[in-house]
Structure 1
Amino acid sequence: MEFVIKISQFLLSLSLLIVLHELGHFIPAKAFKTRIEKFYLFFDVKFSLFKKKIGETVYGIGWLPLGGYVKISGMIDESMDTEAMKEEPKPWEFRSKPSWQRLIIMLGGVTVNFVLALLIYIFASFYYGDTDISADSVVDGYWIENKLLTDLGFKTGDKIISVGGVKIENESDIRSNFLGAESVTISRNGTEQKIDLPEDFLGQLSSSKDRSLFGLRLPFVVAKVADSSLNKSVDLKQGDVFKTINGKKLKYFDQLEDAVDGLEGQTVEVVLVRDKKDITRQLKLNENGKFGIVPFAQIDLETLESLGYYKVVTKTYSFGESFGVGYNKFINQIGSYFNQLKLIFSPSTGAYKGVGGFKAIFDIFPDTWSWQAFWSITAFLSIMLAILNLLPIPALDGGHVMFLLYEMISGRKPGDKFMEYAQMVGFFILIALVLFANGNDIYKAIFD
């Protein structure tokens, strides 16, 4: 069921982005009376799942979910239909239109993607607001178990003061400022110290099996009791929170190993919190010091706040305020993605090791349905799609724009033969990038 939910979100988001991107080309092309031969969601290699001709355009759905396209008459695109280009230009063809009209048509797709992301951030800010955890309330520091981090000197219980020189106000600030950071300032036992990060930290993190950074320290909350557990018959309920074991305080799950050290194979008295009341149970530990209880991997922020662990900061915005808030999120996300690309194209950082394909995108979506997460991810992917399409690679929108700008500045239009060769080169570059990204996914799936 979890796979069905993830794949449904993935395909819905991908389809929405593709259709709207292609509409961005379709609408101005129609406005400038340019003929559209095909409008497709996904690629129709050899055959289509659905197609219907309306007027002069065939609308359809292909079987290969790697993108989509509009086939514009008189334009050298990924279809490589060079036969039509040998004929004299027709008034309705792309090549017959003024350069400024062709430029608008080519920029239409990325424009729609940017506008979509901006609108999502605006309306999501208005509808959902922002929820975070105050960094000041993380009084006992963070849970750090990634060996890469511990080898650098981090320990569970460290408080994060700043990342890359930026002061941490809320818990989410840590990850958002980690990209490209050279150092992290922590507080340990009341003393501040700076830990430097190696230049290729992102590469090491991408190659690591554990890619976690700094996690919130969570209580030991019962999710379920395993069928093989010695405590199967004990009255335990989902949501029970461990408080003490044999009188020893257990505030966080990461303290469990120390709390049961030396008690293997014994029966211990455990105090749990249920419905805000303390209850006592006698629980057995097996020879390995395990209760046979599966803990919750994630706990909602409201529960953590009600248990007194962290202070949740909730911000709501009026409709007018949401425009400014959404715009700032939009600009920050664009800047963040450009920084990612800069790091990826800097071999010394090793960030290219983290480049992923469709599986990486699929893994971003949660395994439970959340419209808030769906729209947030869709906005990010929309920005990613727009920026990648603007790269000056022939076969991408950015490649066409590059040649159009050359034409508008120089007054000379590149020849059809040149455009054919450029399209082929661009196509092979794209294939190489797709193979590299998805190859990274396959490598990680096999060796992680």
Structure 2
Amino acid sequence: MEIAIKLFQFILSISILVILHELGHFLPAKYFKTKVEKFYLFFDPWFSIAKKKIGETEYGIGWLPFGGYVKIAGMVDESMDTEQLKQPAQPWEFRAKPAWQRLIIMLGGVTVNFFLAWLIYSCLSLFNGETYTDLNKFTNGIEVTSAGKKMGFQNGDKIVKVDGKPAERLENTAINILLGDNVTVLRNGQEVTFPVNTDGVAEVLKQKEAKLYLSPRVSMVIDSLASPASKASGFAVGDKIVGINGQKAAYFDEVNTILGQNKGKTISVDVERNGTVQTLPTVSVDKDGKFGVKIATKDIVKSVTTNKKYSFGEAIPRGFERSIEALTMQVKQFKIMFNSKIQGYKNVGGPIAIIKNMQVNKAQDGSLSIDWTWFWGFTAMFSVWLAFLNLIPIPGLDGGHVIFTLYEMIVGKPVPQKILENAQMVGVIFLLGLMLVIFGSDIFKIFAGKL
């Protein structure tokens, strides 16, 4: 049932994006009296699920859910149908239209994608606000994993800037650091700027689970006693651990390190109780480095969480900002993807990985439902992603057509038809190869137990 809901979300999101993207091409084409032969949701090699011709256009649904297309008469596209191009150009063909009209038709899809993302982000900001982990509330700084330490962080650092831009939200900042060049932190009362070490980035990306490499540094305030031994040692709910064996140990990372060094031993623990420090002289540490107490993690999460509300007037510019942030993040990801040391290309995921990571709400009674806030956020992000991908100047994508059209507008004459056909063929082969690599990556990860 869960996989069915995830699959439904993926198909619904892709359908919305594809239909609106192709409408972005279709509407200006019709406005400029250009013949549109086909309008398809999903691809239809060999056969289609459904089709109907209305006027001069055949509308249909293909069986391969990896996009869609509009087939515009007189245009070299992925269908590689060049027979009509051997005839003289007709007034209703794409190639007969002025370059500026062709440019508008080509840019229509990515324009719709961007404005769709802007609309969704604006609505999410208006109706849901934004809930995020607020770095400004990390009063004790951050706690980092071994990967975080490799990147250059130290426990207790307070993140101030990433690449010179203020850092406010943990969720965005954690990703921006992976994509960035340098970080500024407040360390021992002084600002320190250091380059992000790519060895640490590579370690984060190699992790199978998306374990956050930095988190709030928390005090050891006891929420509950999980074992009889902890009660016998003298612990009480509300105790704040401040030292072990005479060493200062006020935070989880400090306590955890010392406990790891004293597995199976008896230690003394200093706790702050009712404003005074007391020493518990005989505390047993088990073979796993635990002494049977739990801290209030839910309270910690609440203490660093901020929910920001937006008025209508604030939501619109915020929606634009979020769209630009998403676009910037997509562009930066190419830095990781093509970095030979980080080898980010190994973490590229295709449709299988996307479907697996779709979010589903799970109620206490076990029932499942769609998390619509997450769904629309994903759709907005994916819309920006499609806009960016389609603008890459590769023949076969909108960006390739745009480059050739701009060349014509600047030079004053069109690119020769044969060059367009050959470039389109190269682009189609490249895109098919890219799809095989992405699918192959998903399949490999499944068999390797990494997906």
Shorter-chain TM-score: what band? Answer: 0.7 to 0.9
Q: Secondary structure at the match of 1:433?
A: helix
Query: Are the structure 2 counterparts of residues 243 and 105 from structure 1 closer, same or farther at C-alpha, using a change threshold of 3 Å?
Result: farther
Where does 1:108-123 land on structure 2 (aligned, <5 Å)? 108-123=108-123
Name the counterpart of 2:315: 322
Q: Secondary structure at the match of 2:71?
A: strand
Where does 1:12-31 land on structure 2 (aligned, <5 Å)? 12-31=12-31
Where does 1:325-340 land on structure 2 (aligned, <5 Å)? 325-340=318-333
Determine the C-alpha separation between the residues in 2 that align with 1:380 and 1:63.
25
Where does 1:165-314 land on structure 2 (aligned, <5 Å)? 165-184=164-183, 196-199=195-198, 201-211=200-210, 212-215=212-215, 242=224, 245-246=230-231, 247=235, 304=299, 309-314=302-307
Q: Secondary structure at the match of 2:346?
A: helix
CA contact (8 A) 1:243 1:250 kept: no
TM-score where L is the length of structure 2: 0.75
Query: Are the structure 2 counterparts of residues 290 and 51 from structure 1 closer, same or farther at C-alpha, using a change threshold of 3 Å?
Result: farther
Name the counterpart of 1:104: 104
1:355 aligns with one of 334, 348, 364: 348
Query: Are the structure 2 counterparts of residues 422 and 139 from structure 1 closer, same or farther at C-alpha, using a change threshold of 3 Å?
Result: same
Q: Secondary structure at the match of 1:427?
A: helix
Query: Are the structure 2 counterparts of residues 253 and 44 from structure 1 closer, same or farther at C-alpha, using a change threshold of 3 Å?
Result: farther
Where does 1:33-182 land on structure 2 (aligned, <5 Å)? 33-142=33-142, 144-145=144-145, 147-151=146-150, 159-182=158-181
Aligned letter for 1:381?
F
Query: Are the structure 2 counterparts of residues 188 and 89 from structure 1 closer, same or farther at C-alpha, using a change threshold of 3 Å?
Result: closer
Q: Secondary structure at the match of 1:82?
A: coil
Where does 1:298-447 land on structure 2 (aligned, <5 Å)? 304=299, 309-347=302-340, 350-368=343-361, 369-445=370-446, 446=448
Query: Are the structure 2 counterparts of residues 204 and 434 from structure 1 closer, same or farther at C-alpha, using a change threshold of 3 Å?
Result: farther
Q: Per-residue CA shift, 1:108-141, capped at 9, x if unaligned?
A: 1111111111111222211111222332433455
Q: Per-residue CA shift, 1:404-445, capped at 9, x if unaligned?
A: 111222222223322211110111121222233333333433
Q: Secondary structure at the match of 2:74?
A: coil
Q: Per-residue CA shift, 1:63-107, capped at 9, x if unaligned?
A: 111111111112111111122222232222212222221111111
Mean Cα deviation higher: 11-20 or 410-419: 410-419
Determine the C-alpha separation between the residues in 1 that align with 2:6 and 2:407.
43
Aligned letter for 1:34?
T
Q: Secondary structure at the match of 1:375?
A: helix
Determine the C-alpha separation between the residues in 2 that align with 1:381 and 1:91.
36
Name the counterpart of 2:32: 32
Q: Percent identity?
A: 45
Unpaired runs of 5+ residues, structure 1, are: 221-240, 265-285
Q: Per-residue CA shift, 1:158-210, capped at 9, x if unaligned?
A: 65454445443343352253143344455678888766532465444333334
Query: Are the structure 2 counterparts of residues 34 and 167 from structure 1 closer, same or farther at C-alpha, using a change threshold of 3 Å?
Result: closer
RMSD: 3.8
Structure 1 residue 24 displacement after superposition:
0.5
Unpaired runs of 5+ residues, structure 2, are: 242-250, 266-285, 362-369
Q: How many residues align?
A: 401
Name the counterpart of 2:247: none
Determine the C-alpha separation between the residues in 2 that align with 1:210 and 1:372.
23
TM-score where L is the length of structure 1: 0.76
